[in-house]
């Protein structure tokens, strides 16, 4: 089961906006609106940041937003802050044999 493709790293200065891409195929991202994004700080459990492509759970900052176009989903972090430095993973439902797949992960660095 191939993982969704993410850039290995993205960086930005405090206050800037960055976007992380997550590329799949028509049987996962392109076919369903079940894309989630997770933030993981070192040594910690992941935390849900976005679900169903663009919805934010209660308590998640509105600086985080999600979108999708075709087979690619995106997570945008605006007003970048030091606390946003972490690993980010996308995840999607897939109609293939294994029904859920994660992305390869992106390390966000705040310069």
Partner 1 sequence: QVQLVQSGAEVKKPGASVKVACKASGYTFSNYGINWVRQAPGQGLEWMGWIAAYNDNTNSAEKLLGRVTMTIDTFTNTAYMELRSLRSDDTAVYFCARGGIWGVDYWGQGTLVTVSS
Give the interface with partner 1 as residue ranges (CB under 8 A): 1, 3, 34-36, 38, 40, 45-48, 51-52, 57, 89, 91, 93, 97-105
* Smallest separation (angstroms) from partner 1 to the CB of 80: 22
As measured in angstroms, the least distance from the Cβ of 13 to partner 1 is 26
DSSP string, 4-64: BB--SEEEE-TT--EEEEEE--TTTTTT-S-EEEEEE-TTS--EEEEBTTTBPPTTS-TTE
Least distance in angstroms from the C-beta of 45 to partner 1? 4
Dist CA 103 CA 23 (whole Å): 8
Residue with Cβ nearer partner 1 (18 or 101): 101
- Rounded Cα distance, 41 and 86, in Å: 5
Q: Which is nearer to partner 1, 5 or 76 (CB)?
A: 5
- For partner 1, the closer of residues 2 and 16 by Cβ is 2
């Amino acid at each position: 089961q191939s993982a969704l493709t993410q850039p290995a790293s993205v960086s930005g200065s405090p206050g800037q906006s960055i976007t992380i891409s997550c590329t799949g195929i028509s049987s996962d991202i392109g076919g369903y609106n079940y894309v989630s994004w997770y933030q993981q700080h070192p040594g910690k459990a992941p935390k849900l940041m976005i679900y169903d492509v663009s919805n934010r759970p209660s308590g998640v900052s509105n600086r985080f937003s999600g979108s999708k176009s075709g087979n690619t989903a995106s997570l945008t972090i605006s007003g970048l802050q030091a606390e946003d430095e972490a690993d980010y993973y996308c995840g999607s439902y897939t109609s293939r044999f294994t029904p859920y797949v994660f992305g390869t992960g992106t390390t966000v660095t705040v310069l």
